[in-house]
Structure 1
Amino acid sequence: MSSDGKPSGKALDDHEKSFTSADEYCDDNFNEPMAEETLHRGLKARQISMIALGGAVGTGLIIGSGTALVRGGPLGLLLGYSYVGFVCYLVMGSLGEMAAFLPHKKGFAGYATRFVDPALGFALGWNYLLKYLIVTPNNINAAGVVVQYWTRSVHIAIWMVIFIAFILAINLLGVRVFGELEFWFSGIKVVALIGLLLMGIIIDLGGNPIHDRIGFRYWRAPDGPMGTYLLSQVHNTKTAIFLGFWAVMTNALFAFIGTELIGVTVGEAENPRKNIPIAIRRTFWRILIFYIGGVFVIGLIVPSTNQSLFTATKSKTGAAASPFVVATTLVGIKVLNHIINAAILIFVLSAANSDLYIGSRTLYGLAIEGKAPAIFRKVNRLGVPWPALLFCTAFCSLVFLNVQSSGAKVFGWFVNLVSAFGALTWMCIVFSHIRFMKALKARGMSRDDLPYKAPFQPWGSWFALISTGIITIFKGFDTFLPFNTANFITSYIALPTFFFLWLGYKLFYRTTVIPIDKVDLVTGIRAIEEEEKRYLEQETEKGPRTLPQRIWDSL
């Protein structure tokens, strides 16, 4: 291993001959794209971390946690989010290990193509694209309804057009401008989240207008510690408690999905072999503080049986749908609802901005691999894949479905679709990582020599694969109690869609699963190392970082 933390040239040279002997699994698509068709590496470590935070922390945590509290109770909410949070960290570690070793510009669908089977890469890439074609209008819709909390004098469709134009303009300005703006967007989000957590703790300890020290009151009967979901249907308290906990995990899955988008940003990251591991390590603290800490505080200050919370969970979005607003209302705080609503608006716009970015880069990566029309390979002088960006923006028109009276139902369908597509993505990532680890072992390479070594492996990837698979299969259990056709279809349509994408590509191109001993671990590495070397030389020419600059980098 070299001094800068990447595999040494000798380690690669020792195995290059055996790698490239597998010609049928080593084609030009594994190389980096030509200069006129390539993305620009302009994202810094701080921006990558914030983009991941911006894309992941949205309505799922701030609003959806209210529904999870009602169904699972405060303890069920904490346990469910903790379990899925651990699974999420395992997925991120797996992705980080592959991305630090091979920070190519094809997204994680490229890892599935390279380490497993081109058919899996095709299905994963289009599956992930479908997720972002849906989740972007979902967040735009949320932003429009949030604004309606203040005024209804302007039609919601006008707000939606404004927000779509806003995020399109930011994405057209290039990755450096996008990264900087998203950094500050997400910075505001972090401050708001910390403020909400502190507010919740202060309210719980008695620092509220009615001076009521709540403590763990809502963890005792009849409010907790566990919820009884669908008790009227199953007529068994223990079964209802288990169903409540399971409902929390499916809700948590939706909340955590989006953290994996770091794997798409590697193609535009500066010095990715150093910066990607930094971003992955920060994921642990992000999950622990914001997600686990957030739901713990919510469980302390809002009773799961409160009628206001039941009303909130039936709202589409906005401040009225946040359990934090319910908490302030219960203790007589009157002004914070508007501040929280403004924070939620920033949350969903930041998420929509990241979603459009990731969707366009996913489509670009598919085109580079020859799995999407070649027109989507084009980039402008700023390195923006503008045809892919415009295509993804066009799908934002789905948001106008929610202008109709059935908009709340459409919003729920979007949530079901997003969580299903996202779960399939997680499973493909960890399965690709399992194959990657086996390929390293088959070539006699140690994981200790990688730029980043994921913790809890190799069993961690298997644990994440099995856990996510089980949650995905049973996530729509409540559509049977009683049976709801629309919810059933949106909960499970992603599974046959993914299967037919995989099967169609496999039959048409007659691909096979790549034998472990023929997995290509070399092609494209040299180009990435040369690009990294040029970047480090440019940084050296700039001279050492000043003390204020180093402090800023640390923050």
Structure 2
Amino acid sequence: MSFPKYKAEDSIPQAHLSQTISNTESKYSYGINTRNMDTMDPMDIEGYPVYSYDNSSQSPININKEEEKQSWGKRFADSFKRVEPQVFDPSLTQTQEAYLKSASSPLKRQLQNRHLQMIAIGGSIGAALFVGAGTALHTGGPAGVLIVWILSSTMIYLTVQALGELAVTFPVSGSFIQFNTRFISAPWGFAMAWNYVFQWIYVLPLELVAVSMTISYWNDTISPAVWVTIFYLLICGIAIFGVRGYGEVEFVLSFIKILAILCFIVLGIVLECGGGPKGGYIGGKHWHHPGAFANGFKGVCTIFPTAAFSFAGTELVGLAAAETDNPRKTLPSATKQVFWRISLFYITSLVLIGLLVPYNDPRLQSPTSSVDAKASPFVISIENGGIKGLPSVMNAVIMISVLSVGNSSVYACSRTVVSLAEQGFAPEWFGYIDRAGRPLVGLFITLLFGLLGYLAVTSKQGVVFTWLSATSGLSSFLTWGSICVCHIRFRYAMKLRERSTEELAFTALTGVWGSIASLFLIFLILVAQFWVALFPIGKKPSAYSFFEVWLCLPVVVVFYISYMIWKKDYTIYIRTRDLDIDTGRGMFDLDFMREIIADEKAYISAKPLYYRLFRLWC
């Protein structure tokens, strides 16, 4: 495929957008919001679509005036009506039309800076860390856990930097879901989009079952179906409030999770130094006996999926770009917060766990579920210090974490479904977005699969969910690897056209070499997982154990080949010279963009050293 050649200052939106995107009685145009531009921080200048209408009933002002005259019930009912789809210039290619659709999505920009910061810092902290770290400690030992989490966190940090650059440059709906199609190929974009749907669509029922298990810790006389129903309706209620509901709930839940980990870090240091009820300095004795490694090199390789699950959802910061107020300012800051989450919440807490809990502690060996508070190394370390009554507190934190992940799964899956429709990878009605900015069909599909949570009352729930979760197995690594490839190809396309990174509102601190390094780490991790899936610890080689880890691979291959046959598109990768690096940009006047960036650099350089360091890392 190829695109028309445009000069840097003549991007597709400038040349076509004012004529090509129109509703029945209105025009849609892009521009820069320059409110108080002379007195504000350059970062506050908004570089995303600004709507303008031509004296029509479609104007938001006219709509709001009409709604004020209606009753609350009428306004609520009308909010579910679909936003009129846009009509595009037929001279545009299907691919260009898809890019413009995603750039002008009617999703509401209601996520504020505080929402995005909290999602970035605490969004993916969940049971995989609170409980899964215990299984990892038993399998790999304290040194193995640190090695795996440091390597995984390095890879995540490099990937999020790349995603931040792309998402700020192209704040479109679907984010990295669409980048695969734009910078690699349509068949790969199709396969990875559906892979991401499967990665999240089974998370909601899994988390509903997990919630019922956490509740049974306090009361096991009530049927799990009751708790599944209560939490299912709660998540449905949150979805009704759209992206603002998601943001507010995640803000509160993430704050609680962060507070819990900070409290544990302080308490863990006290216990390590002998300040607990039992007293006695602990130091690094557990690293000597029973030792630093549990199962040698294979044990280290085996726990990479656990680390991946603990980081799953980190990429949601990029997915939220299309619904973020002023992404040019908030997204760079959010991507930088990942460093602090990794270093403070993950690495620091895991160092303390490795010092406080020996890997051969029998309580680590047999958790009844992935949310069993009794098997949490956080709980065990505190119990070993002589403090009683904490399992209930940690169980409550785990329950909050599970609810947070379930809420995020609805957000991620529903927005991915919309992106599928915008790119022509799913029926057009999958992209139904109502006047309140809710992707109703996407929400319906996601919540429909949530009903699988009622398998919690069956005796075969373990087998069913093992295979449901296996479809997403290592798919996070494929998602992260694709993001890095997109970033590398984007930078290469800019270099080929002699375009400077000075026109980018945010550049990855680690540059393109960071993406290359991350991609190399992902390759090594996948090779290691292939080995341990073939020859698992303590088991004979079997197809069952292999596909329990690698089922996502045949799923991706099937979708990849199916698209090629369906669309007769056998493109392996788009030639670099044909990559579109302009359509859907958050700011189209490149000269103005360069001026804003120069002003921003001058603004920061005039500030004290502490402020410059703060802006660099936060």
1:249 maps to which residue? 304
1:283 corresponds to 2:344: no
Instruction: Give the letter aligned to residue 578 of structure 2.
Output: K
2:68 maps to which residue? none
1:482 maps to which residue? 540
How many Å separate the matches in 2 of 1:103 and 1:405? 45
| 1:457 aligned residue (506, 511, 517) | 511
Instruction: Give the letter aligned to residue 157 of structure 2.
Output: Y
| 2:559 aligned residue (501, 511, 516) | 501
SS of 1:525's partner is coil
Preserved CA contact (<8 Å) 1:250 1:471: no
Percent identity for Structure 1 against Structure 2: 34
Preserved CA contact (<8 Å) 2:474 2:550: yes
Q: Structure 1 residue 136: deviation in Å?
A: 2.1
1:106 corresponds to 2:174: yes
* Residues 473 and 165 of structure 1: CA distance in aligned 2, closer, same or farther (over 3 Å): farther
- If the length of structure 1 is used for normalisation, what is the TM-score? 0.86
Q: Structure 1 residue 416: deviation in Å?
A: 4.1
Moved more, 248-257 or 343-352: 248-257
| 1:436 aligned residue (480, 490, 497) | 490
Number of aligned positions between the proteins: 511
How many Å separate the matches in 2 of 1:414 and 1:70? 25
Moved more, 25-34 or 424-433: 25-34
How many Å separate the matches in 2 of 1:505 and 1:279? 35
- If the length of structure 2 is used for normalisation, what is the TM-score? 0.77
| 2:98 aligned residue (19, 25, 29) | 29
| 1:260 aligned residue (315, 318, 329) | 315
Q: Structure 1 residue 524: deviation in Å?
A: 2.5
1:550 maps to which residue? none
Moved more, 49-58 or 513-522: 49-58
1:298 maps to which residue? 353
| 2:444 aligned residue (366, 378, 390) | 390
1:522 corresponds to 2:573: no
The structure with more helix, counted as a fraction of residues = 1
Instruction: Give the letter aligned to residue 390 of structure 2.
Output: L
SS of 2:474's partner is helix
* Residues 529 and 261 of structure 1: CA distance in aligned 2, closer, same or farther (over 3 Å): farther
Instruction: Give the letter aligned to residue 271 of structure 1.
Output: N
1:218 corresponds to 2:286: yes
Moved more, 70-79 or 51-60: 51-60
Preserved CA contact (<8 Å) 1:363 1:388: yes
Q: Structure 1 residue 351: deviation in Å?
A: 1.2
1:96 corresponds to 2:164: yes
1:66 corresponds to 2:134: yes
| Unaligned segments of structure 1, at least 5 residues | 1-9, 229-240, 537-553
How many Å separate the matches in 2 of 1:171 and 1:242? 44
How many Å separate the matches in 2 of 1:259 and 1:358? 11
* Residues 64 and 465 of structure 1: CA distance in aligned 2, closer, same or farther (over 3 Å): same
How many Å separate the matches in 2 of 1:268 and 1:529? 22
1:367 corresponds to 2:363: no
1:427 maps to which residue? 481
Instruction: Give the letter aligned to residue 564 of structure 2.
Output: K
* Residues 163 and 485 of structure 1: CA distance in aligned 2, closer, same or farther (over 3 Å): farther
Moved more, 386-395 or 419-428: 419-428
* Residues 448 and 13 of structure 1: CA distance in aligned 2, closer, same or farther (over 3 Å): closer
SS of 1:475's partner is helix
Preserved CA contact (<8 Å) 2:144 2:299: yes
Q: Structure 1 residue 195: deviation in Å?
A: 1.3
Deviations 1:159-194 (A, max 9, x none): 112111111110111212321222111111111111
Preserved CA contact (<8 Å) 1:25 1:520: no
SS of 1:81's partner is helix
Q: Structure 1 residue 270: deviation in Å?
A: 0.7
SS of 1:168's partner is helix
Superposition map of 1:59-458 within 5 A: 59-221=127-289, 223-228=290-295, 241-312=296-367, 314-458=368-512
2:58 maps to which residue? none
Q: Structure 1 residue 220: deviation in Å?
A: 0.8
Highest relative contact order (Cα 8 Å, sep 6+), 1 or 2?
Answer: 1
Moved more, 265-274 or 246-255: 246-255
How many Å separate the matches in 2 of 1:443 and 1:113? 20
Preserved CA contact (<8 Å) 1:401 1:407: yes
* Residues 26 and 407 of structure 1: CA distance in aligned 2, closer, same or farther (over 3 Å): closer
Q: Structure 1 residue 119: deviation in Å?
A: 1.3
Root mean square deviation of aligned Cα: 2.9
1:39 corresponds to 2:93: no
Preserved CA contact (<8 Å) 2:138 2:359: yes
Preserved CA contact (<8 Å) 1:74 1:226: yes
Preserved CA contact (<8 Å) 1:55 1:355: no
SS of 2:382's partner is helix
2:605 maps to which residue? none
Instruction: Give the letter aligned to residue 242 of structure 2.
Output: G
Deviations 1:373-421 (A, max 9, x none): 2122112221111111011011112323343334345554455443412
How many Å separate the matches in 1 of 2:7 and 2:283? 57
